[in-house]
Amino acid sequence: MKQNIHINEDNAHFYRFNQPENMTLEGLHGLVDGYAAYGGVKSVLFCANVQRALFDSKVWEPAYVDYDPEAGPDQPALAGLPEEARGFRYGSHGRQLLHNLWLLKDRGLDHLAIWLARCRHHQMEGWLTMRMNDCHYNDNLKSFWHCSLWREHPEYHRASYRDEGWFETAFDFAHPEVVAHHLALVRELCGRFDFDGLELDWVRWVRNFRPGHDERGAETITQFMRETRKLVDEAGRRQGRELKLGVRLPADLSSCYPLGYDVLSWAAEGLVDQVTLGIFLEQTYFDFDLRTWKRVLGPKVRVLAQVDSAMRSYPASGPKGRCMDFRLSAGSAAAALQRGADGIYLFNECYRSTPGDGFTEKTEGLLPLLFGQLGGVEHLRDDVSRRHALSYAQIRGPGMSHDAVLPVLLTPVEGTYDFGRFRQCITLRIVLGPAPVRAPATLLLGFNAEAGEISCDAIKIWINSREVSGFQVETNAAWSEPVEMETWTWRRGIPLESVRVLSARIPEGLLQDDTNIVEVLPGATAPGALTWAEIRVGETKLPVACQEDVKAA
């Protein structure tokens, strides 16, 4: 199997979903051994920090700095946790996680170093990834996640005059103290650990300056990148080998500079070796502009595409508009690899290997299933069931449009000019990746309740200028597959806001590699809106390998 998968082992997974007796050398090896056994893994990126360090740092407070393993649930370190998280509870984001981190230190296990060495044992790249502005639980001042610099200096927060969420109290990198604080951790990581690469994760959590000062802050971040490049290169000279510097950035290049990420300067100065086109959370993307990214970055930079198994077709679709399905991951990977991505990056998918956190015991079988889907382009062409839905770039600069095409009113507003539509006809641009040769393909369109009874006689559809016929309209019950979990409901099928679904089998040879244009002429004065659009390759229902895991996914 081709090694093209890069998986992020995040800030909590291992420490939450293991019992204390597994905080051993064998337990640490087991994590990496598991990834190696799946096949296809090129690198594992181990998270080194949140607002505090996830190891025994000498320059940052470790997450467990205030924790007393002998004290009860009322100790100060646990004061910010809900009552159920103050005890030892498998999967908890509280004491279970904190105690396991403390145990590794108490037992003299330098777990990041052990993981990196185990990656070399399996001939995989071992990376460290540093979250540049983690905001977990910023709305809870008592949380053990917060460092003293953040707690004691609210003037270093980017928008403390507003209290709307975690982003508003992120660190403001305009303060030299904040820059020096983060550079100290970079210096320690480079001086202490034997890694193949260091990733600066600028997507966690994207906003690094006061509103209105992001672009002014671009030089600050570029200087940070220069200093980090020097430190990585110095570490490489000490080790006698070339070490890589990577970044995770918004997938949409036009959003980078408005957020302070001057990618053009970074490329011109040769500051990065790897760029991951990232999303924040639960938003599969298909339209990666690899052509532009590769021209900007040059041939020596490895470009990865982050894929996800969940999405909405537009931001305001709400809970009923969310869908989760590994076939979305396969579709996103196929689209990215077809356009020349050098690999596929997985974030938060580490949780698919471990039972718990609302998932059933069958969750542990889902990660190898996902890995098995993400091979090369030819493997994805016909041998994997995949979905290509109309999505949007999740991360945008302050005040920029989210660029979602959907929802589209079936009857246009008069007196306006929309060159993506041309009067009554709705034009949809679906990025497919490799066109199937043997596998069947199906077009699916979802309509909201206001659309009423869609008339098969009135509506006309073309794909790549050829009319498609023989379609049918059903209620969404046939296409929405609920997956009940402990705290929420996912949908494997079409989200519930699409009350009716039009489906049509696409004739062989009609689809083309990469972009396919779908035109929909709904008929005169049709009410309601189109709220979902996708092309499915392979079986339209769940693939056989997934049938047993419906309640786990």
d(CA 471, CA 460): 10
Report in angstroms the alpha-carbon separations of 454 from 245, 480, 499. Answer: 53, 18, 11
pLDDT of residue 491: 55
450 falls within a domain: yes
Residue ranges making up the domain that contains 504: 408-547
pLDDT of residue 483: 55
The answer to whether 232 and 238 have CB atoms below 8 angstroms apart is: no
Report in angstroms the alpha-carbon separations of 495 from 319, 420, 444, 475, 486. Answer: 9, 24, 12, 12, 19
200 falls within a domain: no
- 537: which DSSP letter? E
The answer to whether 249 and 275 have CB atoms below 8 angstroms apart is: yes
Which residues, given as ranges, of the chain have pLDDT below 70? Answer: 1, 354-365, 419, 482-491, 524, 540-553
Report in angstroms the alpha-carbon separations of 164 from 84, 88, 138, 170, 246. Answer: 26, 31, 11, 12, 31
Which residue in this structure is represented by tokens 């600066």?
200
Global pTM value:
0.94
507 falls within a domain: yes
509 falls within a domain: yes
78 falls within a domain: no
Amino acid, single-letter form, for residue 59: V
355 falls within a domain: no
pLDDT of residue 540: 56
The answer to whether 461 and 427 have CB atoms below 8 angstroms apart is: no
448 falls within a domain: yes
| Domains contained in the chain, number | 1
Q: SS3 letters for 263-298?
A: HHHHHHCCCCCEEEEECCCCCCCCCCCHHHHHHHHC
190 falls within a domain: no
Q: How far is CA 414 from the centre of its chain?
A: 39
pLDDT of residue 391: 95
What is the domain-level CATH number for residue 465?
A: 2.60.120
pLDDT tens-place string over residues 445-504: 999 999 988 877 789 999 999 999 988 888 888 887 765 544 344 457 898 889 999 999
